[in-house]
Amino acid sequence: MTAIATHKTDRAFQRPPENPEHDVYEFADQAFKLIREHGTPPYPSTYALWYAYVSGTDADLTTAVDDLLERRSSPSDYEIREVSRQHLSETQAMDSRQKIGQQFEAQVAKVLAMIEQSVSDSDRFQETLDQIGDDLPETATTDRIDVIISRLLVENRRMSEQSQQLNNGLKNSQKQIEQLNQELEEVRSQSMKDPLTSVANRRAFDARLAVEINAFSPADSDMCLVLADLDHFKKVNDTHGHGIGDEVLKIFANIITENIKGQDMVARYGGEEFAIILPRTDIEGARLLIEKIRDKFAKTSFVIKKSGKNLGRITASFGIAACAPGVNPKELIEIADQKLYQAKDLGRNRVQA
């Protein structure tokens, strides 16, 4: 990690005031200025991110980029891709949710139409019965009674068929709605998951941390937050490529996941940074757990399958902060981050608690 080299108030541009008729070329110009200022590659994904940032249309994306600029004066292509993955892809998720919502509306309308038809059929059946009752004389011949019975049988059969059709239609709609619920849950789940490592993403982490801090009571239990950062990870990417770097990240995420408990949460916090929320865990318990994770990762052998080349030792540093009364999420993250910086300053491959 590098020291903070830029701040929000020091940025080279000022976002223009909100104006729906603002010339898009101004946003494009601002985006290219930021590409040059921060030395980011002029790829389409990079331009899309800076353009969305200067246009200010997505508050979450703006916050994510601001946080990145505070921590990195020159974001790497990898970090740009990660922020783009997490935030620009949300548009696709929104489109999916909107499509599913429209399908929900169509199914509900279909069910309402079936119910309305059923009510109409029931009213018609009642009218037929009333009419037959009015037509039924006090004394009737056998032939007349046979006609009335035949008519009742026909109406009863018609109502039975319509009831069966309604039942089948409702069952089919129920299956469709259940399928839509499942698809909606999958979209929601994917929007809270990091696509590379399959652990929680930053959005899910922020939501969970807020919940844990709001529920925190020192009289009932402890809670710790851990920030982890892979040491010299840029060198891995520069030397072996992002594909190999991605595999290292997956392995690191798996090692964390395998060693935490069901109540705990690991999330992709940034490019090579991860966050771990440890409810009902005191500082000493957290330190012992993270030391175990650090040691296991440091002893992992990384070999490229195709070439058989050994990547050498790859390590990670960790900072742990214990929750305290009155602390808010941002403050707790800052404390853990300070501990992480200390671990880096003291030589890396360390746990600072």
- Asked if 83 and 150 sit in the same domain, the reply is no
Of 214, 294, 269, 350, give the one whose Cα is nearest residue 83. 269
Beta strand pairing call for 351-352 and 316-322: parallel
- Asked if 143 and 262 sit in the same domain, the reply is no
Asked whether residue 103 is domain-assigned, the answer is no
**Catalytic site residue from 212, 272, 284, 291:** 272
Active site residue 138: no
- Asked if 330 and 213 sit in the same domain, the reply is yes
- Asked if 241 and 315 sit in the same domain, the reply is yes
Asked whether residue 109 is domain-assigned, the answer is no
- Asked if 23 and 69 sit in the same domain, the reply is yes
Of 191, 217, 251, which residue is a domain's last?
191
- Asked if 260 and 314 sit in the same domain, the reply is yes
Asked whether residue 301 is domain-assigned, the answer is yes
Instruction: Give the chain's domain count.
Output: 3
3-state SS, 206-238, equals: HHHHHHHHHHCCCCCCCEEEEEEEECCHHHHHH
- Asked if 23 and 61 sit in the same domain, the reply is yes
Asked whether residue 102 is domain-assigned, the answer is no
- Asked if 299 and 217 sit in the same domain, the reply is yes
Angle (CA) 73-76-81 rounded to 5° is: 125
pLDDT at 74: 72
What's 245's domain CATH number?
3.30.70.270
- Asked if 140 and 54 sit in the same domain, the reply is no
Of 191, 213, 242, which residue is a domain's last?
191
Asked whether residue 46 is domain-assigned, the answer is yes
Asked whether residue 108 is domain-assigned, the answer is no
Helix axes 242-259, 77-87, angle to 10 degrees: 60
- Asked if 273 and 216 sit in the same domain, the reply is yes
Chain-centre distance of CA 103, in angstroms?
Answer: 22
Asked whether residue 3 is domain-assigned, the answer is no
In angstroms, the CA 311 to CA 304 distance is 7
The beta strand positions in 1-153, using DSSP E, are none
- Asked if 126 and 149 sit in the same domain, the reply is yes
pLDDT at 8: 39
| Structural domain span for residue 80 | 8-89
Residue pair 252/274 in contact (Cβ under 8 Å)? The answer is yes
- Asked if 206 and 298 sit in the same domain, the reply is yes
Joined tokens for residue 9: 């108030």
**The length of the chain, given as a count of residues:** 353
Of 89, 105, 132, which residue is a domain's last?
89
pLDDT at 36: 83
Asked whether residue 324 is domain-assigned, the answer is yes
Mean pLDDT, contiguous 10-residue spans, the chain (353 residues):
34 46 70 83 75 79 82 69 66 58 66 68 70 62 70 75 74 71 64 85 90 87 95 90 90 96 92 94 96 96 84 95 93 96 96 95
